[in-house]
Structure 1
Amino acid sequence: MPKPVVPEPARRRRRPTKNGVVLSEDLIVRTALRMLREHGSAGLTVRRLGIALGADPSTLYRYFAGIDDLTLAIGDMLIGRAMAGWRRTGDWRADLRELGLLIHAAYLEHPQAAVLTASRISGKSHEIAADEAILGLLRDAGFPDREAVRVYHTFIDMTLAFAALDAAALALPEQARRADEEIWQATYARLPAATHPNIAAVAPLLIADMNDSAYPAALDMLLDSAVSRLGAASGHS
């Protein structure tokens, strides 16, 4: 059974660990991110995290209820890093596009963590701040509330889905990832027009495009649609 989480003021360790550091939620999450990058999700355990921090593993339960709670905090930190680089400019479409790209990039900086967290809902501070900002952009732009929620839902799900998809490719072993990338040149480019006329016609474009993320293009398609929906909503107001 998970142990109850002690409130922040009461759980701070005043003495440094044997590694000479003072534990904090931020330090634990950053250490967990490093462990995920180096060892993958299988390498992230309370015991190994305690060793990396130079602390008794049981001490970590004073900060997090367990690995799942820590996982949610990792996802929230990634969103926080994206939000730290974002500012509103007054152009809702440009602002939403920039935020989407920042969230996507923040996850891809930590592929193993992205695979683990992109599908989760944490309810933590950075996630809530991002949701508030997105909905604020849309409502301030003039979207009716129902349309604002629809665009928000599509935007955030698409952003996180692409983050998970692209991160999963990056998290593959190098040899497997390169083999996947070479399929477009080794297989698709050699299909004859007699049997596969459509693939043959666009093969050079497939080779040029298919190993890059489709997220920026998908994001622009979504935002173009949102602009049209806003115009339609305004015309009926």
Structure 2
Amino acid sequence: MTGRRRWSTEEILDAAAELLRTSDAETFSVRKLAAALGTDSSSLYRHFRSKTELLRAVADRILLAAMNGYHAEGDWKQRLMALALHVRGAFGEQPQLAAIWGRYASSGTGSRLVMEEALQALRASGLPDEAIPARYHRTAVLIAALIASEAGISTVTPQEHEQGMELFRVAVLGADPERFPALAHFARDLRPLGADRRAAFEEILAAQIAQIEAEARPG
């Protein structure tokens, strides 16, 4: 009688990522993953001590994939923007994992590579060393929040999208001008949150970079 197949760590992470394409962190479980692999939960706990540790490892592989295609070029501002866009692009291919990254973070090689590049770029900006950790934290929170927000929008079904668009039209174009005068005034120029996400991402991040530049400027 042959025993159960022994799954490698990478195979487990592959299966977890695939399962997360059609679910989220709340409904995902080690038991479901084990069932998909045709094994029992105890065999997976030999690789990962908890569901959270497993989710962090899955998210870290996205960061690692982003850094595999990243090359530091240009000045510190270009490096920060390119880094953010690489991470955004990597999670854009698996948007369900973006929320997991924002919630659970990670501590693997991918995370360290992203942190190292961001910190090196910030040091090149001219900021004093004592100011860099706080500025790094604010930049990281901003990038994670923007990516998680985009992911939430990109995972809606076509039916949900159309329903959302109809609700947006009702809320904006149907606003009572006496009660909502500003909303009525700008109604035809307002766009839903899902529009021009990349442009919004770059503009918001550029504002953060400009603030860093002003802080680093001598005098």
Gaps of 5+ in 2: none
**Which of 149, 174, 182 is the aligned partner of 1:198?**
182
Q: Provide, for residues 36-61 of structure 1, a one-character-per-residue CA deviation record: whole Å limited to 9, x for no partner.
A: 11233355322321232233432212
Q: Aligned partners of 1:230, 1:55: CA distance in 2, in Å?
A: 55
TM-score by length of structure 2 reads 0.85
Q: Does 1:139 align with 2:100?
A: no
User: Residues 210, 43 of structure 1: CA spacing in aligned structure 2 closer, same or farther, 3 A cutoff?
Assistant: closer
2:125 and 2:213 in contact (8 A); partners too: no
CA distance in 1: counterparts of 2:37 and 2:210, whole angstroms: 47
Matching of residue 226 in structure 1 with residue 212 in structure 2: yes
* 2:186 maps to amino acid: V
1:210 match: 193
Q: Which moved more, 1:212-221 or 1:175-184?
A: 175-184
Alpha-carbon displacement from aligned partner over 1:74-130 (angstroms, at most 9, x marks no partner): 121121122222111131111101111222232232232222331223222211121
Residue 154, structure 1, aligned to residue 138, structure 2 = yes
CA RMSD between the two structures: 2.4
Superimposed CA distance per residue, residues 217-237 of structure 1 (whole angstroms, 9 cap, x where no aligned partner): 211111122222222xxx23x
Deviations 1:167-211 (A, max 9, x none): 22333454334322333323202325444332223223312x632
Q: SS in structure 2 opposite 1:64?
A: coil
Secondary structure of the structure 2 residue equivalent to 1:123:
coil
| Identical counterparts, % of pairs | 26
Superposition map of 1:1-237 within 5 A: 17=5, 23-207=7-191, 210-212=193-195, 213=197, 214-231=200-217, 235-236=218-219
The verdict on how the C-alpha distance between 1:183 and 1:224 changes in structure 2, with shifts beyond 3 A counting, is farther
Post-superposition CA distance 1:4-31 (Å, at most 9, x none): xxxxxxxxxxx993xxxx6322221121
Q: Deviations over 1:143-174 (max 9, x none)?
A: 21133223211111011112222222333454
Q: Is the 8 A contact 1:119 1:161 kept in 2?
A: no
For residues 199 and 48 of structure 1, the distance between their equivalents in structure 2, rounded to whole angstroms, comes to 47
Structure 1 residues not aligned, in runs of 5+: 1-14
Query: What is the match of residue 8 of structure 1?
Result: none
Please state whether the residue corresponding to 1:122 is helix, strand or coil: coil
Q: Is the 8 A contact 1:184 1:206 kept in 2?
A: no
The 1:86/1:188 distance shift into structure 2, 3 A limit, reads same
**Which portions of structure 1, spanning 4 or more consecutive aligned residues, are displaced by more than 4 angstroms?**
none
